[in-house]
């Protein structure tokens, strides 16, 4: 199959120090009868082979020990979420006390807003990114209604530069200057799901704090994709899912960050459950809730062990590869992708995603002029698994843990042929 791949592309793959990580994953071998090119890690990350081992360990423990598995075995279930803490904290640039893995993403956004969305009549608005993921909008609108505000008045959506899908730094600054005194909280996708824009979270947090605004972020498309430094940036809270770049399986658990300036404050309102209760006294089953200091104090339920077992396998890989190395390869993959797409003749391709590397992660969204879904069907029948957004946008994610430069080259050839057929 590799006879028509340019040797310089093959060389880049051969010299890629992360190339062996591809073997740590189960990759779909074929799609529509063709060798599969998987470029959809922004939607569902692939399965780490070791996930089986971690899950099997817990299945066997359950079979052999029943309830005793809570206290015994290599990874007792009682503190199981703690086995994820160190690597999760590292991944998002947090202190261990500031993170916990629990629930699903939208659920966590609501729980966090219980604590951090504290509207007042003259300061109740929420600042969101341009074109946010629908679930975030639904969550925010329902929070506004819950507090008695009109969602049409309560949401300020950043606006892109004319003729683009990208919000400039100047626009963000101007928006804070104009509306800052009315805004209670931001909830901005660190990387936007559609355009792939990587927002300057450090700067947004600074501006937010100047206007006494809580800086919250949704990191569904950022965690495991771009370098994050949540503690040092001073972010107030964040949440993300783990089935996209974090490869932890469909519907897998969400991670939460709560800055340690808040994580111990017992006067913040919160919805409570027994898993957030002080570990020493939890099983005394007393009537009074005593929260665990830190993000763990926001837990409600005892967590599902099997998805957490999958997550262990994935976090191991991130830990071994390191975000710095992954980011380097990610930039190289995206730059190659951009270059090859721009070389497709006929001016049919328009990049939606920012072209500067500091403004994007590993997702490239392209608009194909005058295209319709037939184009996408053509590339699908040639083996490409990507993502189509009506009316004319293809989103692909060259993921540094398992994609190759050859994948990118093959994709661009397939797209070129499909456009010119």
Ligand X SMILES: *Cc1c(COP(=O)(O)O)cnc(C)c1O
Name which of 43 and 168 has its Cβ closer to ligand X: 43
Region of 128-136, 158-166, 364-372, 379-387 interacting with ligand X (CB under 6 A) = 128-136
Region of 101-109, 302-310, 350-358, 382-390 interacting with ligand X (CB under 6 A) = 101-109
Q: Is 200 exposed, middle or buried (0-12, 13-18, 19+ CB in 10 A)?
A: middle
Task: For the segment 214-233, give every residue that binds ligand X (CB under 6 A).
Answer: 218, 220-221
Query: Should residue 157 be labelled a site residue for ligand X when binding is judged by CB under 6 A?
Result: no
Binding residue for ligand X, selected from 62, 104, 159, 282, defined by CB under 6 A: 104
| Least distance to ligand X, CB of residue 419, Å | 28
Query: Should residue 348 be labelled a site residue for ligand X when binding is judged by CB under 6 A?
Result: no
| Least distance to ligand X, CB of residue 149, Å | 22
Q: What angle do CA 227, 23, 11 make, to 5 degrees?
A: 80
Q: Which structure tokens are listed for 81? A: 């979420």
Cα 118 to its chain centre, rounded Å, is 25
Query: Should residue 338 be labelled a site residue for ligand X when binding is judged by CB under 6 A?
Result: no
Binding residue for ligand X, selected from 77, 80, 83, 133, defined by CB under 6 A: 133
| Least distance to ligand X, CB of residue 210, Å | 25
Binding residue for ligand X, selected from 9, 238, 241, 340, defined by CB under 6 A: 241
For residue 79, the tally of other CB atoms under 10 A from its CB is: 12
In order, the DSSP letters of 62-106 are HHHHGGGGGT-SSS-STTGGGGGHHHHHHHHT--GGGEEEES-HH
Region of 146-154, 158-166, 173-181, 213-221 interacting with ligand X (CB under 6 A) = 213-221
Binding residue for ligand X, selected from 9, 51, 55, 105, defined by CB under 6 A: 105
Query: Should residue 16 be labelled a site residue for ligand X when binding is judged by CB under 6 A?
Result: no
| Least distance to ligand X, CB of residue 220, Å | 3
Region of residue 255 (left: phi > 0; alpha: psi -120 to 50; beta: else): beta
Binding residue for ligand X, selected from 47, 106, 205, 330, defined by CB under 6 A: 106
Asked whether the CA dihedral 13, 17, 23, 26 is positive or negative, the reply is negative
Region of 19-27, 99-107, 276-284, 365-373 interacting with ligand X (CB under 6 A) = 99-107
d(CA 51, CA 285): 34
d(CA 401, CA 48): 10
Residue with tokens 């929420």: 126
Q: Which structure tokens are listed for 25? A: 């994953």
Name which of 160 and 291 has its Cβ closer to ligand X: 160
| Least distance to ligand X, CB of residue 34, Å | 28
Question: Is the distance from CB of 103 to CB of 253 less than 8 angstroms?
Answer: yes
Query: Should residue 383 be labelled a site residue for ligand X when binding is judged by CB under 6 A?
Result: no
Task: For the segment 180-209, give every residue that binds ligand X (CB under 6 A).
Answer: 189, 193
| Least distance to ligand X, CB of residue 283, Å | 31
d(CA 352, CA 194): 9
Region of 102-110, 159-167, 172-180, 339-347 interacting with ligand X (CB under 6 A) = 102-110
Query: Should residue 381 be labelled a site residue for ligand X when binding is judged by CB under 6 A?
Result: no
Q: Name the 3-class secondary structure at 158.
A: coil
d(CA 364, CA 343): 15
Binding residue for ligand X, selected from 58, 136, 236, 359, defined by CB under 6 A: 136
Q: Is 19 exposed, middle or buried (0-12, 13-18, 19+ CB in 10 A)?
A: middle
Contacts 24+ apart (CB under 8 A), 139-147: 139/106, 139/109, 139/110, 139/113, 140/113, 140/187, 143/110, 143/113, 143/117, 144/119, 147/117, 147/119
Query: Should residue 409 be labelled a site residue for ligand X when binding is judged by CB under 6 A?
Result: no
Query: Should residue 362 be labelled a site residue for ligand X when binding is judged by CB under 6 A?
Result: no
Name which of 105 and 333 has its Cβ closer to ligand X: 105
Q: What angle do CA 194, 197, 198 make, to 5 degrees?
A: 130
What number of chain residues touch ligand X (CB under 6 A)? 12
Point out which residues bind ligand X (CB under 6 A).
Answer: 104-106, 133, 135-136, 189, 193, 218, 220-221, 241
């Amino acid at each position: 199959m590799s006879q028509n791949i340019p040797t310089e592309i093959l060389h880049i793959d051969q010299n890629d120090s992360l190339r062996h990580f591809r073997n740590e994953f189960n990759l779909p071998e074929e799609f529509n009868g063709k060798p599969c090119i998987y470029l959809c890690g922004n939607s569902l990350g692939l399965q780490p082979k070791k996930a089986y081992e971690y899950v099997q360990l817990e299945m066997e423990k359950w079979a052999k020990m029943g309830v005793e598995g809570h206290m015994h075995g290599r990874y007792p279930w009682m503190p199981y979420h703690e086995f994820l803490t160190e690597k999760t904290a590292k991944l998002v640039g947090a202190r261990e006390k500031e993170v916990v893995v629990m629930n699903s993403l939208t659920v966590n956004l609501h729980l966090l807003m219980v604590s951090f969305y504290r509207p007042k009549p003259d300061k109740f608005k929420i600042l969101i990114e341009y074109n946010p993921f629908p679930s975030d909008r639904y969550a925010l609108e329902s929070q506004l209604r819950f507090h008695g505000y009109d969602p049409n008045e309560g949401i300020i959506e950043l606006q892109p530069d004319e003729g683009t899908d990208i919000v400039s730094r100047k626009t963000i600054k101007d928006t804070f200057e104009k509306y800052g005194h009315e805004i209670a909280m931001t909830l901005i996708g660190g990387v936007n799901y559609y355009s792939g824009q990587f927002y300057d979270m450090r700067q947004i947090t600074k501006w937010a704090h100047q206007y006494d605004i809580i800086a919250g972020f949704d990191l569904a498309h950022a965690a495991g994709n771009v370098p994050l430094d949540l503690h040092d940036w001073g972010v107030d809270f964040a949440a993300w899912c783990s089935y996209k770049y974090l490869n932890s399986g469909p519907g897998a658990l969400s991670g939460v960050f709560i800055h340690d300036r808040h994580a111990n404050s017992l006067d913040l309102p919160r919805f409570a459950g027994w898993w957030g209760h002080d570990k020493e006294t939890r099983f005394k089953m007393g009537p009074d809730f005593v929260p665990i200091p830190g993000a763990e104090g926001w837990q409600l339920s005892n967590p599902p062990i099997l998805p957490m077992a999958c997550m262990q396998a994935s976090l191991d890989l991130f830990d071994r590869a390191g975000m710095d190395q992954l980011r380097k390869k990610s930039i190289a993959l995206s730059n190659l992708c951009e270059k090859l797409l721009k070389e497709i003749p006929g001016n049919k391709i328009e990049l939606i995603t920012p072209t500067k590397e500091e403004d994007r992660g590993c997702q490239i969204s392209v608009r194909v002029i005058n295209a319709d879904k037939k184009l996408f069907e053509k590339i699908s029948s040639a083996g490409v698994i990507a993502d189509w957004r009506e009316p004319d946008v293809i989103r692909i994610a060259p993921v540094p843990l398992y994609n190759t430069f050859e994948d990118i080259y093959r994709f661009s050839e397939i797209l070129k042929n499909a456009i010119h057929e």
